[in-house]
Structure 1
Amino acid sequence: MDFAPSPRGREMLERLQAFMAEHVLPAEAAYREANHRLNGGSDWTRWQTVPLVDDLKEKARAAGLWNLFLPDPQLGAGLKTVEYAPLAEAMGRCEFAAEVFNCNAPDTGNMEVLYHYGSPDQKARWLAPLLRGEIRSVFCMTEPGVASSDATNMQATVREEGDALVLNGRKWWSTGLGHPRAQVAIFMGLSDEQAPDAHHRHSMVLVPLDTPGVKILRMLPAAGQYDPPYGHGEVQFDDVRVPKANLILGHGRGFEIAQGRLGPGRIHHCMRAIGAAEYALELMVARGLSRTAFGKPLLKLGGNLEKLAHARMAIDQARLLTLYAAWKIDTAGVRHAMTEISAIKVVAPNVLQSVVDQAIQIHGGCGLSDDVPLSGLHLMARALRLADGPDEVHCAMVARQELRRFQHRQEAA
């Protein structure tokens, strides 16, 4: 195993960090102010893009820092997963940085789906404008009426009718649904209820959001925050008709596509979480050394030095585990890295949540305010423990794989 960045990866990371330091991080406070002013409230129809983000995107593209996640050297940076991971960590230090480099979810995952599984026509119509950053996309999988931690419970349907596919169902927590530039969704639904294997019963379909029968019902607040201008929406599909050509890869291939989509995507999420944890730790140390109580710096009171040490160890452990998962995806493929992918999905958000909680405690009331980004990072961590599968599902995956290895050892003995 070798996690050292290649010369190409190191050069890209240095350029990204320099761009972040010069352009992105200094704009963080201005971004929050502008976003709050332009996009207050739940009425997503009034939400607007934040102009400074669009300006930064143009600068990033001109600097060659664009589509860094995509392994294709013609369309992206051409980096392996383990090479991209440190870049994702660097982006995690700022809430809007990933969008600046056209590397934000759910667009990255949707672009990967189209890149790996899309037809030439699908790529021309949807992948090309997504890669240019002209439009945004949505992923519609989770449903309000079932326990979505088991995706085979999905009730939304995809049925053939003549030369069309007809979609019905309700989806929610569809990230990016409120964005003014959101134009297309990837909809996953039950297409063959009789298939013997429950993981071959579902399909994915491209749905333009202006198709008749698509109705956005609301944006869902997460802990009271609507996350504009992206939003996490609830959307109804009532007899939505799209051409059969909008089917991705083939009937019954939905779970296959989902696994290919989520593997690298979890590396991205986890490394951004680690970057956010590093930022929270820096804020914690700076605050703890600059404020004095009872005659001592805060950092030297109440066991805070020990908490600092444990936070450092936890962050470094999470990073190494995530880099190992990325290396295994690159060398063995997603199917052979399922234990590691599930492990990091549990570890990284929990580390972030713990570190941010300690940083908030050091900051006192300020930690809950918008003067520092800690409350937003805490919400991000808590949400990640549910997004793409809750902790319990991923722990169950790790346990199943471990039992399988034990049984193989017993049989070989």
Structure 2
Amino acid sequence: MPDFLDSQHTEVLRTVERLADELAALAARVDAEDLGPATRQASKAAGVFGMTQPAAFGGTEAGALALTIVRDTLGSRNVGHLPGILGPSPGVLANVGEPVRTQFLLPYLAGELRSGFGFTEPADAPRHTWAVHDGDDLVINGQKSYVTGGADAAFINALVEISGTGPAMVLIETDRPGVTLTKRFGTLDGSHHAAFTFSDVRVPATHVIGEAGRGLGRALSQINATRLSIAADCVGQSRFAIDLVEQSLAERSARRSDGDTPARTGTDVERVNLGDMRIAAYAARSALYRTARLVDAGENAVNEVMAAKSLATETLSRVCDDAIQLVGGTALVDGHPLAGILRRVRAMRLAEGPTEVLAANVARGRLDLGLGRI
């Protein structure tokens, strides 16, 4: 839990609480299409934007506990999903050389360029996306059926099988000749993705990210941090949903009150449901903060991160569903906060590994590898 924070983490909490309140007010008066620049400006002014970025690029490179506090608090105000709050981390572009560093990485970290992640290919694809060397270039052919964030991306970090060397991550600009956006689609959580085909696309060999032949490992290297961030988002949103239920019950009670005699808040059934929600949220939040501290201590916390992600997403799904049941039909109307949370959590239960897959991996970690404390 966030109890017993040291002075540094307490200051992080206070800072992000102020920012979260500012962003909530901002979202209420600024059009959705203008929120990105506005939230980015507010976050940079608060010193939060760079917490996910390395010090070498001007960021503050916050630890797992600090980022957990940030995401938990933003979620508790239902603003964590707004664009531009936390700066993009280098991800697979970490440690790239020139000219990729200057042309792509630095503008990306500043929020000036958007990227997509191309890993998934159609089930009926005749072969993986591949490339061959031609002088100083790579010539790429193939397709990606689900490029995360690809709908608005200036470039894609795609897994490509390079002839003679093996899989590698390759940076491909979306406006290069031969790159075709074949399908643009949105998902329940409001994000935008795309499918692409590559037909004799030429990119410089310098666009290979990292060591050729190790692309798969590089593609998966950021997954632990992403799972922990999803868990923190969900824990914060669980708090928001519970607070919303309590507010709804209190308002309902006030309408029933008779003069100087206040009505009892909540029926017996409502109280049991609310208590169950709070117990589940407490368990998920406790697991999250313990895991964040393990990560900061340098422990091998792969199993714990998977458990925290599974517990947090499934808890938010249940809490949100129960909250809608208690608040009533108005919570199903487009634009209601709970309707938005319900859409986002359905996507997060699948993101970076479905719950069932993560459970199987936790068992494997213990039974086959002897890792973790679970």
TM-score, normalization: structure 1? 0.78
**DSSP-derived class of the 2:52 partner:** coil
1:100–1:17 Cα change, 3 Å: farther
Pairing of 1:146-295 with structure 2 (within 5 A): 155-179=128-152, 182-191=153-162, 201-223=166-188, 227=190, 230-291=191-252
Pairing of 1:2-17 with structure 2 (within 5 A): 4-17=4-17
1:355-384 per-position Cα deviation (integer Å, ceiling 9, x unaligned): 111111112111111342111111111111
Is 1:66 the counterpart of 2:49? The answer is: yes
How far the C-alpha of 1:403 sits from its partner, in A, is 0.9
Give the AA of the match of 1:270: A
**DSSP-derived class of the 1:140 partner:** strand
CA separation in 2, counterparts of 1:298 and 1:189?
63
The partner residue of 1:94 within 71, 78, 97 is: 78
1:325–1:159 Cα change, 3 Å: farther
How far the C-alpha of 1:10 sits from its partner, in A, is 2.4
1:146–1:5 Cα change, 3 Å: farther
1:289–1:12 Cα change, 3 Å: same
**DSSP-derived class of the 2:159 partner:** strand
Contact 1:291 1:298 in 2 (8 A): no
Is 1:138 the counterpart of 2:116? The answer is: yes
How far the C-alpha of 1:396 sits from its partner, in A, is 1.4
Give the AA of the match of 2:234: A
Aligned partner of 1:411 in structure 2 is none
Aligned partner of 2:24 in structure 1 is 25
1:209-233 per-position Cα deviation (integer Å, ceiling 9, x unaligned): 111222122222435x7x3xx5122
CA separation in 2, counterparts of 1:120 and 1:328?
35
Q: Give percent identity, aligned residues only.
A: 27
Contact 2:253 2:266 in 1 (8 A): no
**DSSP-derived class of the 1:101 partner:** coil
- Count of residue correspondences: 365
Aligned partner of 1:45 in structure 2 is none
Aligned partner of 1:83 in structure 2 is 66
CA separation in 2, counterparts of 1:298 and 1:240?
68
**DSSP-derived class of the 2:8 partner:** helix
Unaligned runs of 5+ in 1: 36-49, 148-152, 196-200, 408-413
1:341-364 per-position Cα deviation (integer Å, ceiling 9, x unaligned): 222232111111111111111121
**DSSP-derived class of the 1:166 partner:** strand
CA separation in 2, counterparts of 1:125 and 1:298?
63
Give the AA of the match of 1:112: G
1:10-37 per-position Cα deviation (integer Å, ceiling 9, x unaligned): 223311211221x211133445xx33xx
CA separation in 1, counterparts of 2:66 and 2:243?
24
How far the C-alpha of 1:242 sits from its partner, in A, is 1.1
Is 1:305 the counterpart of 2:274? The answer is: no
Contact 1:3 1:327 in 2 (8 A): no
1:54–1:2 Cα change, 3 Å: closer
Contact 2:234 2:345 in 1 (8 A): yes
How far the C-alpha of 1:183 sits from its partner, in A, is 1.2
1:243–1:88 Cα change, 3 Å: same
Is 1:403 the counterpart of 2:372? The answer is: no
1:209–1:307 Cα change, 3 Å: same
CA separation in 2, counterparts of 1:323 and 1:185?
33
How far the C-alpha of 1:274 sits from its partner, in A, is 1.1
1:41-60 per-position Cα deviation (integer Å, ceiling 9, x unaligned): xxxxxxxxx22431332233
Q: RMSD across aligned C-alpha pairs, in angstroms?
A: 3.1
Is 1:51 the counterpart of 2:34? The answer is: yes
| 340-349 or 66-75, which deviates more | 66-75
1:300–1:62 Cα change, 3 Å: closer
Contact 1:9 1:84 in 2 (8 A): no
How far the C-alpha of 1:294 sits from its partner, in A, is 12
Aligned partner of 1:124 in structure 2 is 102
CA separation in 1, counterparts of 2:107 and 2:16?
23
CA separation in 1, counterparts of 2:183 and 2:169?
23
Aligned partner of 2:289 in structure 1 is 323
How far the C-alpha of 1:97 sits from its partner, in A, is 5.3
CA separation in 1, counterparts of 2:198 and 2:208?
16
1:327–1:172 Cα change, 3 Å: farther
How far the C-alpha of 1:328 sits from its partner, in A, is 3.0
1:310–1:96 Cα change, 3 Å: closer
